[in-house]
Amino acid sequence: MPVRVYHHTFFAMNTRFSLVFPEISGNLGRILSLEVRRYVDAQEEMTSRFRQGALARINAQAFDGAARVPNALWDVLMQCRRHWEQTYGLFDIALGAYRRRASDAPARSSRPTEHARPNRQYGLDKVVFDEREQSVRFTAPGLVLDLGGIGKGLALKGVKAILERNGVDQAFVSFGESSILALGEHPNGGPWHIGLADVPNTDLPLSNEAMSVSGQTPGREHIVDPRTGAWANGPRMLAVVGECPVEAEVLSTALYIASPAERPRLLSRYGKVRVLDVRSDADFIPTPIYEGSAV
């Protein structure tokens, strides 16, 4: 007997957001989709540096003087600071201005150039957090906070809470195919099986887990190694699967930047995750999945 499935797609955070609800009626599906869409839009308004929300205001004001931060965004910034510390600075939300400059460079390369050299005016260590006043201040001109590397994970965590609050224990949520949340089992039983674009025969089983994928190709770089100021020279693609969508998002970026030798130390600071490292060889053969576990 065919399984009843409700599906809804909308545009958010500059990509396609898709919801799949097995065994849910059209009316309930529409109600849930509307609640999710309103939540995701509110998150984007708050966390996007391109919309006229709280983050955009802080970026415009924080060098001229301390900028007060609303409660919800303050919680996000505290999470980002914690992850910056836990990843030894590899996950850094204060590289936005650098990315913008490097992206405007006439010749884009993974090697340092005149537009891509270490620049100490950027980085989270140039942001002063005043916890008593709940404010931030930039100590360098031109600094920009950019939550693009964590925004989708934050949104998926909130969507998960919405679905669980409404009794939904089976769903598939895709944020541009690079950030995914899988609740419960596939309608046919067992985990949801996920493949990766351009990686033949990849099969990542997900059940009550999130997945985040990071990668870049020549001419379309966007991941900066904060230690060098150059575009990160990571693998073709790196996927992280874990229980928390936010941690998966953070780790997919940090592990992409980290060398293989650096990864075990970084992983030891987080909960159990699965990591798939896809190298840039002709067949895109993935390296074995390995796990990290909290100390």
Q: Do residues 240 and 211 make contact, with C-beta atoms less than 8 angstroms apart?
A: yes
Is this structure's pTM higher than 0.95? Answer: no
Sequence spans of domains, the chain: 5-41+151-292, 54-138
Token code pair at residue 170: 């089976």
**Residue 282, pLDDT above cutoff 60:** no
φ, ψ for residue 155 (rounded to 5)?
-65, -45
**pLDDT score for 159:** 97
Residue range 219-235, pLDDT digits in tens: 778 888 988 888 888 88
Mean pLDDT score of the chain: 85
Burial class (CB in 10 A: 0-12, 13-18, 19+), 281: exposed
Residue range 93-126, pLDDT digits in tens: 998 766 555 554 444 444 433 344 445 568 999 9
Instruction: List CB contacts of 261: < 8 A, sequence separation 6 or more.
Output: none
Q: Do residues 163 and 20 make contact, with C-beta atoms less than 8 angstroms apart?
A: no
The confidence band for 197, taking pLDDT boundaries of 50, 70 and 90, is confident
CA distances from 202 to 44, 79, 241, 245, 277 (A): 31, 32, 14, 21, 11
Residue whose C-alpha is closest to residue 206's, from 228, 239, 235 = 239
Residue range 251-272, pLDDT digits in tens: 999 999 999 899 999 999 998 9
Distance from the Cα of residue 141 to its chain's centroid: 26
**Fold: same for 5-41+151-292 and 54-138:** no
Arch. (CATH architecture) of 5-41+151-292: Roll (3.10)
**pLDDT score for 228:** 83
The domain 54-138 is placed in CATH, from the list 1.20.81, 1.10.760, 1.10.3470, 1.10.3980, at 1.10.3980
Lowest average pLDDT, out of 43-47, 126-130, 182-186, 281-285, goes to: 281-285
**pLDDT score for 290:** 54
CA distances from 238 to 115, 125, 133 (A): 26, 27, 39
**Residue 284, pLDDT above cutoff 60:** no
Residue whose C-alpha is closest to residue 277's, from 258, 293, 294, 295 = 258
**Residue 236, pLDDT above cutoff 60:** yes
Q: Please, which contacts does 290-293 make with residues 24 or more away whose CB atoms are closer than 8 Å?
A: 291/267, 292/263, 292/264, 292/266, 292/267, 292/268, 293/267, 293/268
**pLDDT score for 280:** 52
The confidence band for 191, taking pLDDT boundaries of 50, 70 and 90, is very high
Q: Does 202 or 192 have the greater pLDDT score? A: 192
The confidence band for 294, taking pLDDT boundaries of 50, 70 and 90, is very low
Phi-psi category of 69—alpha, beta or left, where left has phi over 0 and alpha has psi -120 to 50?
Answer: beta
Residue range 123-178, pLDDT digits in tens: 999 999 999 999 999 999 989 999 988 999 999 999 999 999 999 999 999 998 89
φ, ψ for residue 265 (rounded to 5)?
-65, -40
At 191 the three-state DSSP class reads coil
Determine the Cα–Cα distance for residues 47 and 22; give it in Å rounded to an integer: 30
Determine the Cα–Cα distance for residues 167 and 204; give it in Å rounded to an integer: 26
Instruction: List CB contacts of 7: < 8 A, sequence separation 6 or more.
Output: 18, 19, 20, 21
Per-residue buried b or exposed e for 94-105, using 16+ beta carbons within 10 Å of the residue's own CB = bbbbbbeebeee
